[in-house]
């Protein structure tokens, strides 16, 4: 589940909850009960938090409990679900908030008896902060063609606080180096960019974009591959599939 907002605030006088908890396992009269569902993933891309004391917020991605067996003879109770993950693109909020990724408890194997295994993982170890670098720019598409040279084109939007693109090339798809740089146009609307790169030999050519923010943070685009034939025929190219 993705929650994306410039500001997340609560109001009113009741507790609020954002949940990716698993579903509880079904109980059974005698045969094996159902296992608890594993917790899902919450990704919170929120710039600021305003959670009031009257409406505290709980964010959870916990595994559910396994189902119980309602029989005095031993059968198989449902195992607990494993914990999920909660990922914050910035600092984890703490004021009037609770964040949890608990593991599910195993269900009873028989009435009043032992329990099945609990869910995997250490409780709350699934909470991660500032794992992802989220740039303001959005890459809509990136594609190219090749004949005597490579012609690259990409479209973006939302370039607020965005610096530039570094165009990178590789002969093997692993080791890349820069072949050009284009400054960002800026603004919130769609922007179209073009870049031409010299091609000196036939074969497969790999390209990607390094997208750099004003504060130096960066991410890479997907890699596109372009194939130039020995006889240099135009239009022989491999686009990303899908192209966006």
Quote the CA–CA distance of 73 and 81 in Å, as a whole number. Answer: 24
Which domain covers residue 224, as residue numbers?
138-228
- Per the structure block, which two tokens stand in for 227? 């194939």
| Total H helices, total E strands in the chain | 0, 15
Quote the CA–CA distance of 21 and 83 in Å, as a whole number. Answer: 8
Cβ proximity of 97 and 57 under 8 Å: yes
Domain count, the chain: 2
Phi, psi torsion values for 7, nearest 5 degrees: -140, 135
Cβ proximity of 87 and 44 under 8 Å: yes
* CB atoms closer than 10 angstroms to residue 123: 14
Shared-domain flag, residues 167 and 114: no
Cβ proximity of 160 and 186 under 8 Å: yes
Quote the CA–CA distance of 3 and 78 in Å, as a whole number. Answer: 32
Shared-domain flag, residues 114 and 144: no
Q: Is 236 within the bounds of a domain?
A: no
pLDDT tens, per residue, the chain with 244 residues:
888 887 889 999 999 999 999 899 898 887 777 788 888 898 888 877 889 999 999 999 988 898 888 888 877 888 888 888 988 876 788 899 999 988 889 888 888 778 888 887 777 777 877 555 556 688 999 999 988 889 999 999 988 889 999 999 998 888 888 999 999 998 888 999 999 988 878 888 999 999 998 888 888 888 899 988 766 544 434 444 343 3
Shared-domain flag, residues 5 and 94: yes
Shared-domain flag, residues 117 and 144: no
Shared-domain flag, residues 11 and 113: yes
Shared-domain flag, residues 127 and 150: no
DSSP string, 96-161: TEEEE-PPPPPPBSSTTS-B-PPPSS-TTTTEEES-S---S-EEEEEEEEESSEEEEEEEEE--TT
């Amino acid at each position: 589940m993705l929650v994306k907002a410039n500001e997340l605030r609560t109001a009113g006088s009741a507790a609020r909850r954002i949940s990716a908890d698993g579903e509880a396992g079904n109980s059974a009269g005698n045969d094996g009960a159902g296992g608890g569902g594993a917790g899902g993933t919450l990704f919170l891309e929120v710039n600021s938090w305003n959670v009031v004391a009257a409406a505290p917020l709980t964010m959870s991605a916990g595994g559910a409990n396994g189902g119980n067996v309602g029989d005095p003879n031993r059968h198989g109770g449902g195992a607990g679900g494993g914990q999920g993950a909660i990922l914050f693109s910035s600092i984890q909020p703490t004021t009037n908030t609770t964040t949890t990724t608990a593991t599910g408890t195993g269900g009873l194997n028989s009435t009043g008896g032992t329990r099945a295994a609990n869910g995997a993982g250490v409780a709350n170890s699934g909470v991660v902060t500032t794992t992802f670098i989220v740039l303001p720019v959005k890459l809509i598409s990136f594609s190219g063609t090749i004949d005597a040279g490579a012609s690259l084109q990409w479209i973006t939007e939302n370039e607020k606080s965005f610096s530039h693109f570094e165009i990178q090339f590789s002969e093997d798809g692993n080791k890349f180096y820069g072949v050009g740089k284009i400054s960002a146009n800026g603004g919130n609307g769609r922007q179209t960019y073009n870049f031409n790169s010299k091609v000196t030999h036939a074969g497969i050519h790999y390209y990607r974009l390094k997208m750099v923010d004003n504060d130096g943070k960066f991410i890479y685009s997907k890699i596109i591959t372009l194939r130039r034939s020995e006889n240099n025929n135009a239009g022989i190219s491999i686009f990303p599939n899908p192209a966006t």
